[in-house]
Structure formats: C-alpha cells, structure tokens
Amino acid sequence: IVVVPDNVTHNKVPQITGLLAYQKDVEVLHLRKNDAWKVMAEEEKILQTINETMAKMELMINLLHSRDISASTILRNEPAEFQETLQQWISFKTLKRCYRASEDGWHAQVFHLQCGEVGKTVTLIKVGKYIFGGYSDQAWGSVLHVNSAYKSSSNCFLFSFRNKDNLSPFKSHVYQNSNNAIYTDDSCGPSFGGGNDIYIPKNAKTSTSSTNFGYTYRPPSGYSYGNSNTRALLAGSRYFYATEIEVYYFA
C-alpha cells in the first residue's frame, strides 16, 4: 500500500499489478489492475482493509516465531489428524521446539546443544512428502555430556504419518533389543534403534540418513525386519536425505 497526496503524484506511481494506492485528496483506495487504476474503497473501508491486513501479518509473524508444535513447518498444511493422533499417543499439554534443522543448522552438535538436556522429546522428520519420527523418554545428552552409547527404554516408539505404502498413521513400540532404544553421540542427530531403525548423521542435509526399520521397533503387521519394503516404508527408501527435522520437548 502506498499513500499519495494528489492525482499528479498518483500518476507517477510505478505500474505494478496488485499495488494498492491511497489517494489523500479524494480519500479513496485504488487498486492497480491491467495497468489501470480502479477505485476500490472509500476512506472508512481503507482503514478496515489496512487493519485486517496488519492483523493477518501479525498472526503470520507470531506463527513464524512461535516454538509451539502448532507452528511446525513439517505439519503445516497437513491434516489436523496428524497432530491429534500425536496428542492421543503421548498426551501432551504443550510441546515446544528446541531444534529445527533449516533454521538452527544441520550439524548434530547444534541438536545436542539445544535439545540434549530437555528430557522427553518428539522428533519429526520430513523426506519429500513422507513424515515420520520418534518419541524418546531418554535424554539425548548435551555436547559437553554426551557419550557414544545406546540408552535403554521400553517406552520409546517410532511413528509414521505419511509413508510409502499409504498406511494410516501408526506407531511402533520397542519389541526387542530394548537396551538399544536410542543412540546418543554428538556425531549424529536423533537416532533410534540398535540396528539403526532410524539413523540421522551429523549433517543430514548433505549426508545420507537411513532406516533399518524393525531391528528394535516392531514394524506393522505384514512387514518384517530385513525386508526391503520394511526398510523403505518410513522414508520412501532405505537411504534418504532429510527435507526437514524438528525436535520438540514437553514444556
């Protein structure tokens, strides 16, 4: 929106389609369309339009800077069912983001620095159109206190919202090798399972991640560990490059 004092100045405004111009001498709002100005609204409508536009912009800015899971870029424009299902699985009051790869950087040490000591976490991973991840009730360890080690848990689980075989959203609990529920090492991101059910390397933007689903976490009925369809189920293929990674903690 531009404000011009009179018609002479109005005529000097660049011919940009979609530009709104408020001409003060006649107190109307003009819209540039097909290289011509068209009266759009009287003065009272102008303020209403501006206020509505500013409110929408403020909402967008708040969402952009919010760390609540409702502002997740991975779940944005996805069915509300995904977040509702996650709520049913882990019954959270608030999930706050501690890490987003595209904003914070793809290096694993950044993930450990920001999420290592926050306690229970939910990891969301996007690979193209596929969305999956994991829940951990074990800490990942900060950069200063992380050791290369597996952690034991029978409560961790993997999940899938959208997968290669178009299965409905599902979660997969630990069913064997529970001593290897998650792997903590500052040279890799959030990784689940002793056989690398989900493995995220230290720079998942340019390094290959992988899924060897079924070693620690039980795959859906009809899928078995070591089968190529099982390995490709979560991310579309066994080896992949992540589009986005987000990690949330219970606030």
DSSP-H helix ranges across 39-162: 43-65, 80-90, 101-104, 108-115
* Confidence at residue 38, expressed as pLDDT on a 0 to 100 scale: 59
CA distance 156 to 216: 10
* Confidence at residue 184, expressed as pLDDT on a 0 to 100 scale: 94
User: How many separate domains does the chain show?
Assistant: 1
* Confidence at residue 142, expressed as pLDDT on a 0 to 100 scale: 86
Domain assignment present for 49: no
Domain assignment present for 45: no
Domain assignment present for 44: no
* Confidence at residue 62, expressed as pLDDT on a 0 to 100 scale: 57
- Domain hosting 225: range is 67-250
Domain assignment present for 60: no
* Confidence at residue 42, expressed as pLDDT on a 0 to 100 scale: 56
Domain assignment present for 35: no
> Tell me, what DSSP letter sits at residue 5?
S
The 8 Å CB, 24+ separation contacts for 77-85 are 78/131, 78/161, 78/162, 81/169, 82/131, 82/161, 82/169, 85/161, 85/169
Q: Give the β-pairing of 20-23 and 2-4.
A: parallel
Domain assignment present for 54: no
* Confidence at residue 61, expressed as pLDDT on a 0 to 100 scale: 59
* Confidence at residue 11, expressed as pLDDT on a 0 to 100 scale: 75
* Confidence at residue 66, expressed as pLDDT on a 0 to 100 scale: 80
Amino acid at 181: A
Give 10-residue mean pLDDT values along the chain (251 residues): 68 69 58 56 60 67 72 95 96 94 95 95 98 98 82 97 98 96 95 96 96 98 97 98 98 89
* Confidence at residue 206, expressed as pLDDT on a 0 to 100 scale: 95
